[in-house]
Structure 1
């Protein structure tokens, strides 16, 4: 054979021996047991670390939902609602012919106080994007309140200019302040949804690592069975049972936790978003209804906005809009409250048509009387019941977010410590399984 042929033959032989299969074939049984045992221990530790990391990450996210993101979303919601209610209350108070009522004045001042407090809290924890929007609110809110106070002063003096100041104030609120507050609320609400999905999704890394560990243990048992002529290796069987227990415990716990978070997102976060927008639409509609009358024949633009906002609430037929979507999404226990709010909105539309008929017919005083009359069937009482029903539904939604987050976190209690112990049990099972077999060759 030529030198070239010898080199080629030698090269092929060396190459074959250096492959994983070649190396394993040349290993003695004790060496192979050591290799498999070390591999299983390393894989078991990595699997345990992956599962523990997954659980710890979810627990941290759930804690963030309950302790940070949820309250921030509620603060943004409070700011959003208080501002809209202040604008509606200020416009309604301007309609009273015998002077502003103490009740409406107190409600307006309470709304401004709530908005200021919520704004202060929100600014503390806001990122740059939210802080920019909140600064718009902070800068413009004093301008708004100043315009309202100027309008009130002119009204008390009997100066017609008061209505113009009030319209300017409401325009500032609806076109600048409320959109900024709405942006912050929408962003915090959607971030809360993202965190719910992140904490409730399928744990792919942990599941795949546990599955890999299980397959490796089965293969190791087949190897030992063939080499030792024993059907079962007690240590490896114990390690396999530990792996199955870890898979079942973590799978059930994470699955139940995910369902709680899914309920919190669907019946809480998403429902609250719809209800908050319904509250905004109803309050702005109330303000525009009053401003239509304040304008004394020049309020066509306000009436157009009112009609659009009421359509947004209940649709043109009274059975659609935000309320219909909220009823469809809401759990059964909440539907009655939302349905009551929708019924009040339908009654509101009917009474509003009477107000418009009187005003369009030239009887402004009659229109104001209809818009401000007291009693159960009066427009203020109808709107009050609508607003209360919405507030109650929002409170239910917010409490459900908090409650489901608590349940999701409670489901994972003890799982981290349990996985650490089970990982130790897996490693111990591997060691106890291979140690006697290796000792047989000494």
Structure 2
């Protein structure tokens, strides 16, 4: 039986082969579809639209992160600087109380009511400052350290009261109690406060460093502007149309947002640097100088209390005054050599001259005259000279610290506002860019 014949068309492709190729059709892949899409003008327009929208959003987000991050760093610097100043003021209150107590001890019997009031006010301010400083402490262990300071201050106050009670009755043991109280203050309380101050100062430095880090994000802001400009240039060449309303609006939005964000971030960094080297540095230096000078005032009294055996206290006095003089010089430089730094230095020198007169009386054998000069509150006395210096130094600390806090706070607010402006304009630019590119895409549909 003969097999049936099949009719074939010599020109037809074999089954399973692509016509005219003699090979099976290549499978379609995502990469292939993407490449094929880019080969067409609508595909390229869609890609350009994506680039423009992403560029706008990138600027908005990076501008927001840069401004918001810098604002937070400035707020942290402001808070930690206030914490440091408060810690130094706590130290000043305590050494002031001690200086008043030792000076009043020289009078013998019942000390003057004015001296007693100054002592109690200084101790009361210190006692009130400890809980608030502990509540706002951010460093590890600082709250516990300040709590220990509170307990030690109470012991110090108890020893001072014992010294006063014995001194009123003329018992020599009163001097021993006063010496013990002062030693407890300098061996237990002040070193702990200094440790807290050091850790807080390190945080302020770290905060100031964080302020400058936000500038790195400005590179992305610049990249966004460049990307959007490249899209507009490509579109103008492709379509032979110079202006696209949507892209023009997006460009304006991005330019304004970029300028706001850049100006705020760069300006905030400049403020942080100028504050750190200016009013903040002056505040810290003046406060430390006041603390050293007040401690020297205590040493002046102890030199007389020891009656001929107080050489080490006089040496401590000279060391403290020299340190205070140097710090006030630094404060003068930080305030650009203005009168704010020169006047405290002059007042410190005036008090030191009065101290020299006291030492000349004591070294000349007139101990009673030296005590009278050290405890006098007359207008031309050593006490009045020290009060003038102390009041002026306190005023300088208050003025420079307020200047520093206000400038940091203003810069933080500006950075925060610029962050939201950048974000809003970035989103608005993305919408405008998408709308403008969509007009060109419709021409190919």
Matched, 1:330 2:330: no
The one of 170, 176, 198 equivalent to 1:158 is 170
Q: Which moved more, 1:106-115 or 1:228-237?
A: 228-237
State the distance in 1 between where 2:340 and 2:235 align: 66
2:308 aligned counterpart, secondary structure: coil
Q: CA deviation at 1:201?
A: 5.4
Q: CA deviation at 1:197?
A: 4.3
**2:64 counterpart residue number:** 52
Summarize the Cα distance change of 1:345–1:245 in structure 2 as closer, same or farther, 3 Å threshold. Answer: same
1:441 aligned counterpart, secondary structure: coil
Q: CA deviation at 1:123?
A: 1.8
The Cα offsets for residues 287-306 of structure 1, whole Å up to 9 and x where unpaired, read as 01100101111211111101
Write the mapping of 1:206-285 to structure 2, written as runs, cut at 5 A: 207-285=218-296
**2:6 counterpart residue number:** none
RMSD of the TM alignment (CA)?
2.5
**2:424 counterpart residue number:** 421
Q: Which moved more, 1:286-295 or 1:369-378?
A: 369-378
State the distance in 1 between where 2:176 and 2:442 align: 97
**2:343 counterpart residue number:** 340
Matched, 1:392 2:395: yes
**1:405 counterpart residue number:** 408
Which has the larger Rg?
A: 2
Write the mapping of 1:112-191 to structure 2, written as runs, cut at 5 A: 112-126=123-137, 127-191=139-203
The one of 356, 373, 391 equivalent to 2:376 is 373
2:309 aligned counterpart, secondary structure: coil
Summarize the Cα distance change of 1:32–1:325 in structure 2 as closer, same or farther, 3 Å threshold. Answer: same
Q: Which moved more, 1:188-197 or 1:217-226?
A: 188-197
Write the mapping of 1:20-169 to structure 2, written as runs, cut at 5 A: 23=35, 27-66=39-78, 68-97=79-108, 99-126=110-137, 127-169=139-181
**1:296 counterpart residue number:** 307
State the distance in 2 between where 1:133 and 1:164 align: 27
In 1, are the aligned partners of 2:84 and 2:197 still within 8 Å (CA)?
A: yes
After TM superposition, the score normalised by the length of structure 1 is 0.86
State the distance in 1 between where 2:199 and 2:407 align: 21
Q: Which runs of 5+ in 2 are unaligned?
A: 1-25
Q: Which runs of 5+ in 1 are unaligned?
A: 1-13, 315-320
In 2, are the aligned partners of 1:186 and 1:273 still within 8 Å (CA)?
A: no
Q: CA deviation at 1:24?
A: 7.3
Q: CA deviation at 1:18?
A: 10
The Cα offsets for residues 17-72 of structure 1, whole Å up to 9 and x where unpaired, read as 9999x937962111121122123222322331121122222333444455x43443
State the distance in 1 between where 2:166 and 2:109 align: 15
After TM superposition, the score normalised by the length of structure 2 is 0.86
Q: CA deviation at 1:284?
A: 0.5
Q: How many aligned positions are there? A: 416
Pick 1 or 2: higher relative contact order, CA cutoff 8 A, min separation 6. 2
In 2, are the aligned partners of 1:78 and 1:114 still within 8 Å (CA)?
A: no
Q: CA deviation at 1:274?
A: 0.5
Summarize the Cα distance change of 1:24–1:47 in structure 2 as closer, same or farther, 3 Å threshold. Answer: farther
In 2, are the aligned partners of 1:94 and 1:100 still within 8 Å (CA)?
A: yes
1:430 aligned counterpart, secondary structure: helix
State the distance in 2 between where 1:26 and 1:141 align: 78
State the distance in 2 between where 1:159 and 1:285 align: 26
Matched, 1:199 2:221: no
Q: CA deviation at 1:249?
A: 2.0
In 1, are the aligned partners of 2:67 and 2:214 still within 8 Å (CA)?
A: no
